[in-house]
Structure formats: C-alpha cells, structure tokens
Amino acid sequence: MHPYVRRRSAEIEAAAPPDSVVVHDVPLLVENHLEGSYDVVVVVDASPQTQLARLSSFRGMAADDVRARMAAQVGRAERNAAADVVVDNYGDLVQLRDQVSRLWEQLRRRAGPPQS
C-alpha cells in the first residue's frame, strides 16, 4: 500500500471513537495480500457478464477495456475466498441496499454500543 495512504488510514482509525465502524475501500486488496490488515473483509460479487454490462453502461467503458481490467485481477473464487462476507450483487440496487443495510447493522452491533 502506498505509504501516504497507509499513514492517513492509520490517522483516521486512531481518531475514530471506539464504537466506530471504519470502512476502507481497497480495490486490489486480494491482489496485494492485504486481507489480514482488516477486521472484516467484505467482497461485493457479481458475475463477469454483470460486471461487463455495468461497467460498459454506467462508466462508458469499452468491452475490451473491461475484459482487460478483469483479466488483470484475481479470479472470483480467490476474491470470494478471502472474504469474511460476500455481498451478492446480482440483483437490482434495492436488493443491494437491503443487503448492505443488514450488513451495516451487524457491523454496528459488533462495534459495540455508542460511547457516551
């Protein structure tokens, strides 16, 4: 991980109250073998076809560029195996929000009651 990002992440975590849930968005977490650096690893999973369709439509990426990006990453099986929680992103945004809301509540409970 880039030294500045690592340092800034540590500062944010140190400043967070004890009952906080600190979320890190780490695009190449598995590729860089960083799974052990976090309490909980969450992977959002979708099929290659779904990834291709979404990146093409939402980000305007060319299909060949999407395929090249996907080929440079670890496979789904390895990424999902590194996860403590796999969020199924095959449905629509409402289904995804429901899953994320349930996960967020679980993480908040795990973090403990709010500090007074």
Does a structural domain hold residue 116?
Answer: no
Q: What is the CATH number of the domain that holds 20?
A: 3.40.50.300
- Report phi then psi at 38, rounded to 5: -130, 150
CA dihedral 52, 53, 59, 63 (to 10 degrees): 50
One-letter amino acid at 65 equals D
Interval 41-71: pLDDT, tens: 999 999 999 999 999 999 999 999 999 999 9
Does a structural domain hold residue 37?
Answer: yes
Interval 3-40: pLDDT, tens: 888 899 999 999 999 899 999 999 889 999 999 999 99
Range of the domain at 98: 3-111
Beta bridge partners of 45: 88
Does a structural domain hold residue 50?
Answer: yes
- Structural domain count, the chain: 1
